[in-house]
A and B are shown apart, each in its own frame.
Chain A
Amino acid sequence: MRTCPPVFPRRITAVLGAGLLAAALTAAPALGFCGFYVAKADTDLFNQASKVVLVRDGDRTVLTMANDFRGEPQEFAMVVPVPTFLERDQIHVGERGVIEHLDAYTAPRLVEYFDADPCRQDFRERLTSAAAPAADQAEGARLRREAKKLGVTIEAEYTVGEYDILILSAKESSGLETWLTDNGYRIPAGASKVLGSYLRQNMRFFVAKVNLEEQSKLGYTYLRPLQVAYESPKFMLPIRLGTVNANGPQELFVFALTRTGRVETTNYRTVKLPTGAELPEWVEQDFGDFYRDMFARQVKREGKAVFLEYAWDMAWCDPCAADPLSRQELQQLGVFWLDDRKAELGRRGAPSPAQDVFVTRLHLRYTADTFPEDLRFQETGDRSNFQGRFVIRHPWKGSPRACAAAGEYFRQLARRQEKEAQSLAHLTGWGLSDIRDRMDLEGPTPADDGGQPWWKKLWGG
């Protein structure tokens, strides 16, 4: 957790001292990033959300696919198009915790500020902390014979961790579809055309099932993420198979780890998530609901767009929804360019922060209609930081009669809270009157208005 530098926010001083510029009070950026993290909105809020981590530098890619499959392990089967053939050592089974950590680190966040006592001449932004929630051979021969009859080639078979993995290529998509269906891979009806398109693009198919024997030996009760490393100019994610027979829109989170800068899609717009809005205090209790509804509204508003939720140098964060990933965690995710000399220096001296890693978190909701084409990406030279961040400001608890400035403070507060209600309604589509009803307006009642006549505020004066 970072402390706020002792810099007095001048705009706020001006507002409180002179009683002017109500708009400035509600403008969040005056406070910079110096707030405290109180809640985060992680990917668990969305049902059936896929999470992938893309580590990319040059033409080298390490793809980690989080596995949130919740059924019986024997029911699990996945089919993923990959750009190249994969050797045994190009496949790895990772740890779920690292992805969860990355998710928490990059999650949209809610930060809180406390209004200072307007009666104190030298007041400074006073911040209190809130605890951050954490955030067999015969079988193989049979498979090969059947595959050959259908024009399918099993290029390789591996057992990696708890998974049995095959790398397939095929002459015809219909043969591949038949083989996959016969062997228990659930391929939605109509996927044949999509499979055919990938085959013509020289893609292979990475197919995985759970090896129950290995799983019980390893003792895991959940399925760990699968990782593949390959070298290909194709900086893309195949999403089309997922849309063939999907029940409604799919949710996807892409965490890109690169050396140069922010990652964006080249064939869809990448749009920044709204950020910096000040919201009513009670949003703290319902931040998950807020984030879900806000995201749904943004999707409706922007249409075919990929949302940027976080872009940051992995060496730090402010405020932190979770600590940056350690060097070891980054290596687990496949970041291959970390400098060993820096690590050596770090061991000798202070712990070294992660180096040369820039993280981009993208979030999209897609269907075959809105995202007909696979996602294509590029790495940009943009290293500017961005975070999906929302602000709550706790009002000062004093009396409007405490001093002359206090009366003015409460008048400004009432306007600010109205603005907060409107921001929330605008972002989520929630009813404005419901929001107002839930707001705990602690401002003065008309009778307790710092000595002002009741009609002063009648026409917005």
Chain B
Amino acid sequence: MRDPRVYQISILSGLLAYGVVGLGFEVDGVDAAAILGTALAAQLVATRLVGLPRFDPKSALISSLSLILLLRAASPWLAAAVAAGTIASKFAIRRRGKHVFNPTNFGLAVAMLASDRVWVSPGQWGSAAFFAFLLAGLGGLVVHRATRSDVTWAFLGAWGLVLFGRAAWLGDPWTIPLHQLQSGAFLIFAFLMISDPKTTPDARSGRVVFAALVALVAGGIQFGLHRPNALIWALFLCAPAVPWIDRLLPAHRFSWGSAPSPRRAQAPIRPSTSNLPSAA
């Protein structure tokens, strides 16, 4: 089976094209080049430093495209710094043989904490239903290929419960949670960020617990603390819980190279050393 990251790269590229042409995203060419160049260079340097056998640009490419889609920065230097931090986090912050944070999520969260010159525009996608469906279909393909679609479906269910539950409690019309669900930013998060098989718990039950935890924390941030980009913050805050969930609910480790044959899944799987990729 082909590496699912190839599909992710093409989908992210398609989204970027749609965003720029169809929605008028202000993707600065210099920022985009700075992100892409820095991320690939950082991946190359880290590959040499860690002594990995070969340079694999796919994961760095996915992180770059995700950053280009989501990150807005006041200068290309800031964009490059975020890209470098994103890739570095994969190699530097590790526990029990796998990186703790989804790299893009880590890069965005730390950058927003560190500087008020960096931001994410959650409203940029709008809520065109057509786009929502398109994205759902494409995202579904990716999660299916990556074999860990359960975390996405569990998150969609849990987040839906949070939004519809809140609307029911407030007596709001359903148009409000539906509007919130139609957000492209939410779907990108669900299909392309939380779904990263390298940073989610190994056991299916663990992934369901994790998805529900992220949805609850995000609900607290969005409706309790009234902060934007709640999903990004929630994933960032919950990621350190993954090693604990893995300890409580152990299962075999995911590796891009070993996905997704059931027969192969029976075999003892050791942490991948061929590369250290991640999804977006």
Task: Write the chain B residue with the least CB distance to A260.
Answer: B116
Shortest Cβ distance from B170 into A: residue:
A197
Q: How many pairs of A and B residues are in contact by the CB < 8 Å rule?
A: 83
Q: Is the CB of B73 within 8 A of A269?
A: no
List A contacts of B124 (CB < 8 A): 269-270
- The tally of residues in B whose CB lies under 8 Å from a CB in A reads 33
Return the CB mask of A348-392 against B: 1 if under 8 Å, else 0: 000000000000000000001100110010111111000000000
Within 8 A of A (CB), among B192-247: 225-229
Contact, CB under 8 Å: B173 / A381 = no
Task: Report whether B74 and A266 are in contact in the complex, using a CB–CB cutoff of 8 Å.
Answer: no
Contact yes or no, B171 A380, CB < 8 A? no
A253-292 residues at the B interface, CB under 8 angstroms: 260-261, 264-272
Give the residue of A200, A272, A376 whose beta carbon is less than 8 angstroms from that of B171.
A200
Distance from B221 Cβ to chain A, minimum over Cβ atoms (Å): 10
Q: A233-B226, A376-B228, A378-B228 are in contact. Are A200 and B123 (CB under 8 A)?
A: no
Q: Select B172's contact among A197, A233, A266, A271, beta carbons within 8 Å.
A: A197
Q: Which residues of B contact A383 (CB under 8 A)?
A: 74
A83 to B24, CA, bound (A): 34
A247 at the binding interface (Cβ < 8 Å): no
Q: Are A269 and B72 in contact (CB under 8 A)?
A: no
Mark the stretch among B84-92, B125-133, B154-162 that contacts chain A. B125-133
Q: Are B121 and A193 in contact (CB under 8 A)?
A: no
Chain A residues near B229: list those with CB within 8 A: 266
Name the contact of A233 in the complex, choosing from B73, B173, B227 (C-beta under 8 A): B227
| CB-based contact A233/B170 at 8 Å | no
Taking a contact as CB atoms under 8 Å apart, the answer to whether B119 and A382 are in contact is yes
A209 at the interface (CB under 8 A from B): no
Contact residues in A for B72 (Cβ distance below 8 Å) = 380-382
Is B144 engaged at the interface, CB distance under 8 Å to the other chain?
no
A232: chain B residues within 8 A (beta carbon): 226
Report the Cα distance A272→B25, complex, angstroms: 10
Interface size class of A (residues with CB under 8 A): 35 or more
Say whether A304 faces chain B, with CB atoms less than 8 Å apart: yes
Select one of A236, A265, A267, A270 contacting B180, CB under 8 A.
A267
Please name all residues of chain B whose beta carbon is closer than 8 Å to the beta carbon of A270 when the two chains form the complex. 121, 123-124
User: What is the distance, in angstroms, from B131's C-beta to the closest C-beta of chain A?
Assistant: 11
Which of B116, B121, B171, B180 is A373 in contact with, Cβ under 8 Å? B180
Question: What residues of A have a CB within 8 angstroms of the CB of B225 in the complex?
Answer: 233
Most A Cβ at <10 Å: residue of B124, B175, B226: B226
A121 at the interface (CB under 8 A from B): no
* Residue of B116, B127, B171, B227 with most chain A CB atoms under a 10 A cut-off: B171
- In contact, A269 and B119 (Cβ under 8 angstroms): no
With known contacts A197-B171, A233-B226, A264–B123 Cβ distance under 8 A: yes
Q: Does B270 contact A (CB under 8 A)?
A: no
Contact B176 A269 (CB under 8 A): no
Measured between alpha carbons, how far is A85 from B152 in the docked complex, in Å?
A: 41
Cα distance A305–B117 when bound, in Å?
24
Give complex CA distance A310, B227 in Å.
Answer: 25
**For B226, what are the chain A residues with a Cβ–Cβ distance below 8 Å?**
232-236
| Known contacts A260-B116, A372-B175, A378-B228; A305 and B180 CB within 8 A of each other | no
Q: Which of B118, B125, B126, B183 contacts A381 (CB 8 A)?
A: B118
Question: Among the listed A197, A264, A271, which residue makes an inter-chain contact with B24, where contact means beta carbons less than 8 Å apart?
Answer: A271
A451 at the interface (CB under 8 A from B): no
With both beta carbons as reference points, the residue of chain A lying nearest to B224 in the complex is identified as A233
Chain A CB within 8 A of B23 CB: yes
B76 within 8 A of A: no
The CA of A48 and the CA of B122, in the complex, are separated in Å by 30
- Assess whether A324 is interfacial by the CB under 8 Å rule: no
Cα distance, A172 to B228, chains bound together (Å): 29
- Kindly list chain A residues whose C-beta atoms are within 8 Å of the C-beta of B123: 264-270
- Within 8 Å of chain A (Cβ to Cβ): is B48? no
Best-surrounded residue of A173, A268, A269, A379 (most CB of chain B within 10 A):
A269
In whole angstroms, how far apart are the Cα atoms of A369 and B176 in the complex?
10
Q: A201 interface residue, CB < 8 Å from B? A: yes
> Is B261 an interface residue, CB under 8 A from the partner?
no
Q: Is B179 an interface residue (CB 8 A)?
A: yes
In the complex, residue of chain B having the shortest beta-carbon distance to the beta carbon of A83: B226
Report yes or no: A304 in contact with B127, Cβ–Cβ below 8 A: yes
* Interface check A303, CB cutoff 8 A: yes
A196 close to B (CB within 8 Å): yes
Complex contact A303–B121 (CB within 8 A): no
- B116: chain A residues within 8 A (beta carbon): 260-261, 379, 381
B273 within 8 A of A: no
Interface readout for B165-182 with A: 1 if CB under 8 Å, 0 if not?
000011111011001100
A266 to B183, CA, bound (A): 10
Q: B228 and A380: CB pair below 8 A?
A: no
Contact across chains for A381 and B179 when beta carbons are under 8 A apart: no
- The smallest beta-carbon distance between A274 and chain B, in angstroms, is 10
Report B-chain residues with C-beta under 8 Å of the C-beta of A369: 175
Which A residues touch B24, using CB under 8 A? 271-272
Q: Is B115 an interface residue when CB atoms closer than 8 A count as contact?
A: yes
Say which residue of A196, A233, A304, A380 sits within 8 Å of B121 (CB atoms): A380
Q: Is A193 touching B180 in the complex (CB atoms < 8 A)?
A: no
Q: Is A380's CB under 8 angstroms from B176's CB?
A: no
Closest to A234 in B: B226
| Bound-complex Cα distance A303 to B128 (A) | 9
Tell me which residues across on chain A come within 8 A of B121, comparing CB atoms. Answer: 264, 266, 270, 380
Contact A373 to B119, CB < 8 A, known contacts A233-B227, A272-B24: no
Question: Which chain B residues lie closer than 8 Å to A197 at the CB level?
Answer: 170-172
Tell me which residues from 14 to 29 in chain B have a Cβ below 8 Å from any Cβ of chain A. 23-24
Binary CB contact string for chain B from 105 to 149 against chain A (1 if under 8 A, 0 otherwise): 000000000011111011111111000000000000000000000
Q: Which of A234, A305, A380 has the most CB of B within 10 A?
A: A380
> Once bound together, how far apart are the Cα atoms of A234 and B228, in whole Å?
10
Minimum Cβ distance to chain A for residue B68 (Å): 16
**18 A/B residue pairs, CB under 8 Å, sorted by A:** A193-B173, A232-B226, A234-B226, A264-B121, A264-B123, A266-B229, A267-B179, A269-B126, A269-B127, A271-B24, A368-B175, A369-B175, A372-B175, A372-B176, A372-B179, A376-B228, A381-B74, A381-B118
Residues of chain A touching chain B, judged by Cβ–Cβ distance below 8 Å, are: 173, 193, 196-197, 200-201, 232-236, 260-261, 264-272, 303-305, 368-369, 372-373, 376, 378-383
3 closest pairs, A vs B, by CB?
A381-B117, A269-B126, A372-B175
